[in-house]
Amino acid sequence: MKPQNLHAHEDRLLDFAYGELPAPDAQVVESHLQGCARCTQALDDIRGVRVTMGHLSEESAPDAGLESLLAYAQQSARRASAGPAPKPSRWRRWLLPVVGLASVSTLGILTFSAQSPELTQANLAAAEVMPSKKAAPVPSASARSAEPSAAPAPAAAAEAPPPPPEMRDDDAEYAPKDAAKTRSAEVQRAEGWALAGSGGDVGGRGRADELKAKVKGAESFGGKQSRSKTAPAEKSQREVSNLDEEALAEAAPAQAVASSSPPRDGLRLGGSSAKKEANKLSADDLAKDGAWDEGPGAPALEAVTEPLAQGTVVSAPAPSSANESRGGVAQQPSDAREQLELDRASASRAKSPMKATRKAEAVPEAPMPRPAPVTPAAVGRSEAEDSASGSSVAELSRQAQSANRAGDRSQEARLLRLALAAGASGTERAGLLNRLCDAELALGRRREGLAACNQVLTEAPGSSAAQAARRRLSHEAESVETPTSDAQPAP
């Protein structure tokens, strides 16, 4: 037998020993084994090992873990039979982000809604400032354009210095207004956050009300000064004294542009009043005051004679003037008054064009009103109100003047009407009517104010009060025209 064949048989012996050879091949091997001792020995060796190792008995598998294995298999089989098991997981995979997004959206909406009061306040504050921004510059522009025709007479006739101080007053007054506006916006935002965070800043509101009352008092303090005999000049100077030096410096170049800006003065009811209190109150307080002064219910409170309500009454003209500015009748009341005041102030301040000197002058020129405290003024109003019915014309006039100093124009108008009803006559009556005209226009009651001015012209056409009333009416007419032209570009 060749070695190759032998090797081939040995390979087949293994298959033959384990019975893996097909029957024909197995017969061939068997026939070969009968004549081949070597292959027979090899096969015997294989069989001998198999027999020996076959005594190694089979061990049974442990039962430990069998039950848990079958339970696990059962669970797996249920999942397999469920089929679309992965779908829920996929759905859950989407559910979490969707729910999270919805939560964030809800939170954002809630935050926005919580911010909306703040935004409303900011809008209100902006609405209050808007007349100063929207109406004032445009009227000033129109005034600049109209200045050569209408205003130049007094301005040109007077000395050159007086107009610039007036312009400085106005411009400088305007510059802090913008700064105060931005500050007020920030404060409004912060206040809004406080409201949003706590769900309503009761304390903050109370504080704002308190500060508002203080501001009202201070505002009335300013109004009181303006109503005094030297009021026009004093008021302007006091306003200037409250301005920053830098703002004045910035406002200086604008002096050459126009000689006067009545529309800006009209904003003093809301804006300049806030500036007046800048000495006593912070910009934050002013911003809050500007926001709280606005309100639909404020005009309705004009008729209220209670001292507490009078603090709000002062704020009434602000929204009305703002509304009128949009409607085309803006700033007329204060414009007429301010023009009168400015005319007087221009004369009184002719010697002191510089604001620093004017600042110094403001103190001695107004020694009377400044010491007047805010709270006693309110108390005095209530006392004057109690005694108004039985007082004489002079007493009522004095009380009305006190109310004017306190800034309570409504009370002033009421007392003036009482004084007129008490039987005032002659020059005194004309003066009372003139003051009533001023007070009514300042309160935004244009019709009543015009009626009072017309009554002065009718009853005492040649008096100085009639001249003032005529001047006030002319300015009123101008301011009526100006806002209409301003209202045109408005949306």
Partner 1 sequence: MLAFQAGDARAFEALVRRHRTPVFNFILRFVGQRARAEDVLQETWLKVVRSAGEYQAKARFTTWVYTIARNLCVDSARKESYRQAASLESPVSGVDGEEGRALADALPDSGASPERGAYNARLRPLLERALASLPEEQREVFILREYSGIPFKEIADVTGVSENTVKSRMRYALDGLRRRLAELGVDGDLAEDGRTVVG
Residues that bind partner 1 (CB under 8 A): 10-11, 14-15, 18, 20, 45-62, 64-66, 69-70, 72-74, 76-78, 80-82
Contacts of residue 217, defined as CB under 8 A and 6 or more positions apart, other chains included, come to 311, 374, 375, 377, 378, 406, 407
* CB closer to partner 1 out of 20 and 210: 20
C-beta of residue 384 within 8 angstroms of C-beta of residue 272: no
**Residue 302 DSSP code:** G
End-to-end CA distance of the chain: 118
Least Å distance, CB 34 to partner 1, is 21
Cα separation, 346 vs 353, in Å, equals 9
How far apart are CB 78 and partner 1 at their closest, in Å?
A: 7
How many angstroms separate the CA atoms of 390 and 399, rounded? 12
Q: Which is nearer to partner 1, 13 or 287 (CB)?
A: 13
Q: Toward partner 1, which CB reaches closer, 57 or 89?
A: 57
**Is the Cβ–Cβ distance between 168 and 236 less than 8 Å?**
no
Q: Which residues make Cβ contacts (< 8 Å) with residue 346, sequence separation at least 6?
A: 158, 162, 163, 165, 166
Shortest Å distance, C-beta 72 to partner 1: 6
Using the minimum distance from each CB to partner 1, give the nearer residue, 20 or 245: 20
CB of 35 to partner 1, least distance (A): 22
Give start and end residues of each alpha helix (H) in 147-199: 152-157, 163-198
**CB closer to partner 1 out of 21 and 415:** 21
User: Shortest gap between Cβ of 98 and partner 1 (angstroms)?
Assistant: 30
Angle at 413 between CA 440 and CA 426, to 5 degrees: 100
* Nearest-angstrom CA–CA distance, 129 and 133: 6
Least Å distance, CB 199 to partner 1, is 54
What is the nearest approach in angstroms of partner 1 to the Cβ of residue 32?
18
Q: Which is nearer to partner 1, 18 or 112 (CB)?
A: 18
Task: Give the chain's count of helices (H) and strands (E).
Answer: 24, 0
The nearer residue to partner 1, 42 or 439, going by C-beta atoms, is 42
Beta-strand runs (E) in 128-275? none
Q: Which is nearer to partner 1, 72 or 112 (CB)?
A: 72
CB 194 to partner 1: min, Å? 59
Least Å from the CB of residue 113 to partner 1? 52
| DSSP-H helix ranges across 131-162 | 137-146, 152-157
SS3 for 392? Answer: coil
Residues 6+ apart with CB under 8 A from 373: none
- Tell me whether residue 11 or residue 30 sits nearer to partner 1 (CB atom): 11
Minimum distance from CB of 8 to partner 1 (Å)?
12
Nearer to partner 1, 54 or 296 (CB): 54
Least Cβ distance, residue 49 to partner 1 (angstroms):
5
Q: What are phi and psi of 184, to 5 degrees?
A: -65, -35
Structure tokens given for 131: 């007349």
Closer residue to partner 1 in complex, CB, 12/275: 12
Short-list 157, 326, 359, 102, CA closest to 248: 359
The nearer residue to partner 1, 11 or 386, going by C-beta atoms, is 11
Spatial distance between the Cα atoms of 475 and 469, rounded to a whole number of angstroms: 10
| Angle, alpha carbons 455-459-462 (nearest 5°) | 110
User: Any residues with CB less than 8 A from the CB of 370 and at least 6 apart, and which?
Assistant: 221, 225, 363
- Taking the complex as a whole, how short is the minimal distance between the CB of residue 2 and partner 1, in angstroms? 20
Beta carbons within 8 Å of 316's beta carbon, 6+ residues apart: 298, 299, 301, 302, 410, 443, 444
Look at residues 472, 398, 401, 466 and name the one whose alpha carbon lies nearest to residue 427: 466
Residue nearer to partner 1 on the CB measure, 47 or 351: 47
Q: Which two tokens stand for residue 470?
A: 């005529």
Taking the C-alpha atoms of residue 333 and residue 467, their distance in angstroms, rounded to an integer, is: 16
d(CA 189, CA 201): 13
| Closest distance to partner 1 from the beta carbon of 91 (Å) | 21
